Structure 1
Amino acid sequence: MPLTIETCVARHTGDRKEQQDRVALFAHPRMSGTMLAVLADGMGGHSGGAMAAEQVLLKAKQNFEAYAPRSETPEHLLASVVNEAHLVIKLTRFTSEQDPHSTAVVFMLQPGRADWAHCGDSRLYHFRGSQLVSRTQDHSLVGEMLRSGKIDEEAALKHPQRNVLLSCLGSEREPRIGHGNQAPLMAGDSFLLCSDGLWGYFSDAELGAAVAGMPPREAAQKLISQARERAGGYGDNITVAIVRLVEAPARNGNGNGNGAVRR
């Protein structure tokens, strides 16, 4: 079945003084139907977090443009983005008085498959229709407590230490990298990348309903608006990217519509 892609990225500063999140979509310069989405939630005070998040995007773009599937697996590419961005962020600590750190979610879409990697507590959700297929597991203290059964999902959202990360880019320890993939793909598959400034205010079902029920731009607007309302004046930076696969419209002539991107 020929597929086309609908995408959107969006950010909101929330109630913070500075936007330290970063997000971007990149089309591969040579391979049709291949794209990369990357999201980073920077930490470090002043402009340090923004600088760290920016390094994630720069490294993602560089490595993705050099990606050659005959000599490199998707998992290797995505891991290289996280590891090399981590090294660059660490090096900036020696040339500034800042202490920059960042999370990272890197998602690559190719014809017939999707691959992703993450570090920290920014998330990737995979929905088929409105149903959750999978989501990344947070590298956080509360995430570990949740996986061990010490707390439930409701308690996790309200836990006073929910912002304590066990792994991120720029720390002394090497980053913990979680990987995932999906193949084959079908119409109705959606991938949501977001920072904790968004997912912290929604259940999985709410996110799935929004992503499946409206075009990506409208879904992003609705989710950000609701997150702002639920934050009650104490909201973090909000960042989101949505990639949704839909049936390609019929057209005359040769070609099947694979690889088309609609923004």
Structure 2
Amino acid sequence: MAFSAETCVATHIGDRSEQQDRVGLFAHPKRPGIMMAALADGMGGHSGGAMAAEQVIIRARQNLESYAPLHETPQELLSSVIDEAHTVIKLTRFTSEKDPHSTAVTFLLQQGKAYWAHCGDSRFYYFRGTDTVSRSGDHSLVGELMRKGRLDEAGALKHPQRNVLLSCLGSEREPCIEYGLAEAPDAGDSFLLCSDGLWAYFTDFELASTIQAHPPRTAAECLVRMARERAGGAGDNISLIIVKLVPPAGGGIAR
């Protein structure tokens, strides 16, 4: 069924001295109906994390501009963004004193289907109304403990090593990339990309119900405000991208 996409991108520095999250939302320059979103949470000292995260957004924009669906699959496009950003981030370690790393979440909406990929602990959510259809698994120590049944959601949020990543961009090991696909998204569905500065303060239902109840911009404002309140003066950088599918005003996918 045809749908339009309403979108919003939002960031907040939180209680940090520097914003090291980066976000981007791009339309294909020549092919209507193709849209990409990318989000990255940088790590690695003053400016190092920001530089790493910026590479993800640069690669997302450039690779989408050269993307030709007849010769490249959506998964190959999403993978190329993460792999190429990883390579560039690694190279910067040899030319600076910084030790840059980054998470990455990429999302593609094309011909009525949705594709996504991620590495690290920035998250991707796929909601149908207030139900969670899919949520990315964190490539972190607590994420692994949860998958093994040794830790629950409440314990994960308080674990002293909750920020330890098992995979990210810029490390010596190749990034672990996981993929997702929605074959038939429809009006009423929504997608959320966000850093841990946001998701750490919400249940899945809270995120879904807020996005369901409001237009993307209002929902983003509500979520950022609540995250800041719940952080109690100790909040991380916040970044999020909302893509909400609605009945088409004039047919097709709009942005």
1:259 to 2:253 alignment: yes
Tell me the distance in 2 between the aligned counterparts of 1:194 and 1:141: 19
Pairing 1:222-233 to 2, within 5 Å after superposition: 222-233=222-233
**Residues 157-213 of structure 1: CA distance to partner in whole angstroms, max 9, x if unpaired?**
111111000000000100000100101111011000000000000001100101111
The match for 1:193 is: 193
Please list every run of at least 4 consecutive aligned residues from structure 1 whose deviation after the TM superposition is greater than 2 angstroms. none
Counterpart contact for 1:41–1:122, Cα < 8 Å: yes
- SS of equivalent residue, structure 1 residue 26: strand
The match for 1:252 is: none
- SS of equivalent residue, structure 2 residue 109: strand
Tell me the distance in 2 between the aligned counterparts of 1:33 and 1:80: 21
Counterpart contact for 1:15–1:236, Cα < 8 Å: yes
**Residues 13-66 of structure 1: CA distance to partner in whole angstroms, max 9, x if unpaired?**
000000000001000011111100000000001000000000110011111111
Counterpart contact for 1:107–1:115, Cα < 8 Å: yes
- SS of equivalent residue, structure 1 residue 197: helix
- The one-letter code matched in structure 1 to 2:44 is G
Structure 1 runs not aligned, ≥5 long: 250-255
The match for 1:27 is: 27
The match for 1:18 is: 18
The match for 2:42 is: 42
- The one-letter code matched in structure 2 to 1:62 is Q
Tell me the distance in 1 between the aligned counterparts of 2:2 and 2:81: 30
The match for 2:8 is: 8
Of 140-149 and 59-68, more deviation after overlay is shown by: 59-68
- The one-letter code matched in structure 1 to 2:75 is E
The match for 1:124 is: 124
- The one-letter code matched in structure 2 to 1:134 is S
Tell me the distance in 2 between the aligned counterparts of 1:173 and 1:4: 39
Pairing 1:34-73 to 2, within 5 Å after superposition: 34-73=34-73
The match for 1:94 is: 94
Counterpart contact for 2:5–2:243, Cα < 8 Å: yes
Counterpart contact for 1:111–1:258, Cα < 8 Å: no
Tell me the distance in 1 between the aligned counterparts of 2:41 and 2:92: 17
Pairing 1:188-227 to 2, within 5 Å after superposition: 188-227=188-227
- The one-letter code matched in structure 2 to 1:179 is Y
The match for 2:151 is: 151
Tell me the distance in 2 between the aligned counterparts of 1:155 and 1:25: 34
- The one-letter code matched in structure 2 to 1:24 is G
Counterpart contact for 2:187–2:245, Cα < 8 Å: yes
Structure 2 runs not aligned, ≥5 long: none
- The one-letter code matched in structure 2 to 1:4 is S
**CA deviation after TM superposition for structure 1 residue 259, in Å:** 2.1
- The one-letter code matched in structure 2 to 1:9 is V
Identity %: 67
- SS of equivalent residue, structure 1 residue 226: helix
Tell me the distance in 2 between the aligned counterparts of 1:2 and 1:178: 28
- The one-letter code matched in structure 2 to 1:199 is W
Tell me the distance in 2 between the aligned counterparts of 1:215 and 1:222: 11
**Residues 59-103 of structure 1: CA distance to partner in whole angstroms, max 9, x if unpaired?**
111111111111111111111110110000000011111000000
- SS of equivalent residue, structure 1 residue 156: helix
